[in-house]
Amino acid sequence: MAIQDNQQIEIGSPYNLAVKAAYELWREQHLSRELPRLSDLLVYIDDPYQLSDVEKKAIVSRCDNFNMVIYQLNNPEIQDKSLVHALGKQLSLVNLDANLRSDEDSVSSLEVRNQAGNQYIPYTNKALSWHTDGYYNYLDKQIYGIVMHCVRPAASGGVNSLLNPEHVYIKLRDANPAYIEALIHPEAMTIPANVEAGKVIREAQTGPVFIVKDNGRLHMRFSARKRNIVWRDTEETTNAVAMINALMADENNVFKVALKAGQGIVCNNVLHNRTAFTDGDGSGRLVYRARYYDAVASNEK
Ligand SMILES: [Fe+2]
């Protein structure tokens, strides 16, 4: 083990900055997966309550390779919210994060609604800037897996862009390993306390951007928001964050999808955003979202 800024990163890990061989090998494998197309990621599912072995393997292998999968229910009429729990469970996604606006079953119904108190953008039709989910959570309550299921798309807009953090890591490390050092620093990024009606409902959270998990996989805490994020005041941190923003802004780096009814995303909390959308006259865009303290089942770890 080598301790890099409080993170124990094994000697054989590609994320160990002191040992280049493992990184070079891992990098080679990943560069060919840099920008997946929909055909690389799409898996058709007959019954979300009972995946076939083939369907499950297809999902797991895509998450191993790309950290994400797009699934399509062959029958989009299957819409009961319980499908989210059922699907997640079959992919080792069990421990749900309950957030302030989630429903009683800890699955959020993302749709335009009237909100009391602080206005949370996911429940509006506004654009959502780049982030990983739960970047403001306590470090021992990080979100490693997400299921998002589209019941109804918007009349227009509501497009998600997705970017695998592993590729951000590669681009940053190739540009300057000091960027990685800056982003694994335990004080790289601070989210100020969340105060609602004068009451602190979550204390300030300070932590790294890149976290190498116990299973050796990479996790990323990130938000592109200009306000409410305090970055560690070093030149490397500033430049690294600017480079992440530039990578996300480059359309050549990101996978885009406008989920249709019956489609969903399962991912290891990759970077993502959402464009603004417009609802039609009838029922508006509805997406179920579940966040987990678990990562998607893997054949690798
Ligand atoms: Fe999100």
CA of 289 to the centre of ligand 1 (A): 9
CA of 132 to the centre of ligand 1 (A): 6
Summarised one tens digit per residue, pLDDT across range 148-167 is: 999 999 999 999 999 999 99
CA of 265 to the centre of ligand 1 (A): 11
pLDDT of residue 102: 67
- Cβ atoms of 110 and 122 within 8 Å: the answer is yes
Average pLDDT over residues 83-102: 90
Hey, which residues does 265 pair with through a beta bridge? Answer: 70, 148
Cβ within 8 Å of residue 30, ≥6 positions away:
166, 167, 170
Cα angle 156-104-97, degrees, rounded to a multiple of 5: 80
CA of 258 to the centre of ligand 1 (A): 15
Alpha-carbon 269 to chain mean position: 2
Q: Is the pLDDT of residue 301 over 70?
A: no
From the number of C-beta atoms within 10 Å of its C-beta (0-12, 13-18, 19+), residue 291 rates as buried
CA of 300 to the centre of ligand 1 (A): 25
Q: What separation, in Å, do the N-terminal and C-terminal C-alpha atoms of the chain show?
A: 18
Average pLDDT over residues 117-122: 83
pLDDT of residue 214: 87
Rounded Cα gap, residues 299 and 291, in angstroms? 21
Q: Is 274 left (phi over 0), alpha (psi -120 to 50) or beta?
A: beta
pLDDT of residue 116: 80
* Band of pLDDT at residue 1, cut at 50, 70 and 90: very low
Rounded Cα gap, residues 80 and 62, in angstroms? 25
* Band of pLDDT at residue 6, cut at 50, 70 and 90: low
CA of 224 to the centre of ligand 1 (A): 12
Average pLDDT over residues 102-117: 85
Summarised one tens digit per residue, pLDDT across range 38-84 is: 999 999 999 999 999 999 999 999 999 999 999 999 999 999 999 99
CA of 208 to the centre of ligand 1 (A): 19
CA of 52 to the centre of ligand 1 (A): 28
Q: Is the pLDDT of residue 4 over 90?
A: no
CA of 291 to the centre of ligand 1 (A): 9
Alpha-carbon 247 to chain mean position: 16
- Cβ atoms of 65 and 99 within 8 Å: the answer is no
CA of 78 to the centre of ligand 1 (A): 24
CA of 11 to the centre of ligand 1 (A): 33
Average pLDDT over residues 257-279: 97
CA of 112 to the centre of ligand 1 (A): 15
CA of 272 to the centre of ligand 1 (A): 6
Cα angle 176-248-42, degrees, rounded to a multiple of 5: 115
Q: Which of 181, 179, 177, 145 is nearest to 264 (CA)?
A: 145
Max avg pLDDT among 19-23, 177-181, 226-230? 177-181
CA of 135 to the centre of ligand 1 (A): 10
CA of 160 to the centre of ligand 1 (A): 10
Query: What's the mean pLDDT when you consider all of the chain?
Result: 93
* Band of pLDDT at residue 194, cut at 50, 70 and 90: confident
Hey, which residues does 70 pair with through a beta bridge? Answer: 42, 265
User: Which has more pLDDT, 240 or 98?
Assistant: 240
Q: Which domains does the chain have, with CATH numbers?
A: 2-292 (3.60.130.10)
pLDDT of residue 11: 84
